Amino acid sequence: MLSLKGKVAIVTGAGSVGPGWGNGKATAVLLARQGAKVFGLDNNPAAVEETIGIIKSEGGEATAHTCDVLDSESFQAAVEACIARYGHLDIMVNNVGGSHPGGAESMPEEVWDRQVDFNLKSAFLGCKFALPHLKKQPGSAIVNISSIAGYRMQAARPHVAYSATKYGIVALSKSVAIENAKAGVRCNTVVPGLMHTPLVEHRLVRQLGGNDAAALIAKRDAQVPLGKMGDGWDIAHAVLFLVSNEAKHVTGTELIVDGGVTAAGAV
């Protein structure tokens, strides 16, 4: 079940912004544990090397590659480096993204542009450069990472660019899925909700929690119907299912991993 033996996977954002397990780091390690050869990309060499070191310490096969996924040449070169290293590509996980608060009136245009590039263009480029290779492999798959911020809006704290781009990820995935269905390439979206990843302590505690991590975590936990935020492993397991042969008839859809937040109408 859920075996990836013989498959090669690229995971972007495979490092972590701080101690613990971010979505990309957990995904890279889990795919390797299931037998995939993992080509991990990150713009932080030390972070991606740490992830690859964990995989190798467990007996897995993995390669670290420093890459700016906002730069077309850098991204294309990374994909070609993966092919040169492993000979083929079966799985593409586009995990890079981040938020910046602000509404349509208050957000500077350059911040909007950066968010569009960071959250949406990065996934587009990943699909663009991976597809020629994925089409050569039976059972190949793309997973793009979105956010429930594309579905749930907050009047008190708008994220106009983040919400727009993360909703755009869903449309991107559907378009790629339908265009490439006859070629045998599946494309789906994982939609995380409130997650307890290193990003909480690294950035959100300063932005939202008044430097009180325990209070912020308790507040975020209370918003989740299941009573607790998810973590990077919850996202990793969702990705694993969608790239596995067990999901061979699943394409052009979204797997929401949010503990019931979206269904409950909470924000």
CATH number reported for the structural domain that contains residue 44 in this entry? 3.40.50.720
Residues 12 and 130 in one domain: yes
Q: Which residue has the higher pLDDT, 204 or 263?
A: 263
* Residue 187 and residue 204 in one domain: no
> Within this chain, do residues 178 and 139 fall inside the same structural domain, yes or no?
yes
Q: Is residue 2 part of a domain?
A: no
Residue 88 domain flag: yes
The answer to the question of residue 1 being in a domain is no
Q: Are residues 56 and 68 in the same domain?
A: yes
| Whether this model's pTM surpasses 0.85 | yes
Assess whether pLDDT exceeds 90 at residue 192.
yes
pLDDT at 222: 95
240 in a structural domain: yes
Considering the domain architecture, whether residues 103 and 207 belong to the same structural domain is answered as no
The per-residue pLDDT for range 132-187, each reduced to its tens digit, is: 999 999 999 999 999 999 999 988 889 999 999 999 999 999 999 999 999 999 99
Annotated catalytic residue 162? yes
**What pLDDT score was predicted for residue 199?**
81
Average pLDDT for 52-56:
98
186, 219: one domain: no
- Regarding whether 140 and 112 lie in a shared domain, the answer is yes
Residue 17 has a pLDDT of 87
pLDDT of residue 154: 85
Q: Is residue 150 one of the residues assigned to a domain? A: yes
Task: Assess whether 239 and 216 both reside in one domain.
Answer: no
Residues 168, 221 share a domain: no
Domain hosting 45: range is 8-193+233-254
* More confident position, 173 or 212: 173
Q: Per the structure, how many domains does the chain have? A: 2
Give the pLDDT of residue 202.
66
Quick one: pLDDT at residue 18?
87
Indicate whether 262 belongs to any domain: no
pLDDT tens by residue, 77-135: 999 999 999 999 999 999 999 999 999 999 999 999 999 999 999 999 999 999 999 99
Q: Which residue has the higher pLDDT, 152 or 41?
A: 41
**Catalytic member of 86, 151, 162, 167:** 162
Task: Say if residue 115 is in the same domain as residue 205.
Answer: no
State what percent of residues in the chain have pLDDT above 70: 96
Mean pLDDT of the chain: 94
Structure confidence at residue 30 (pLDDT): 98
How does residue 212 score in pLDDT terms, banded at 50, 70 and 90? confident
Q: With bands split at pLDDT 50, 70 and 90, how would you rate the model's confidence at 211?
A: low
Predicted confidence at residue 157, as pLDDT, reads 85
Give the CA radius of gyration of the chain: 18
Report yes or no: 90 and 8 within 8 Å, Cβ to Cβ: yes
Q: Tell me if 178 is assigned to some domain.
A: yes
- 219 plus 239 within the same structural domain: no
Q: Is the pLDDT of residue 201 over 90?
A: no
Binning pLDDT at 50, 70 and 90, where does residue 71 land? very high
In a domain, 266, yes or no: no
Same domain? For 240 and 214 the reply is no
State yes or no: pLDDT of 200 exceeds 90. Answer: no
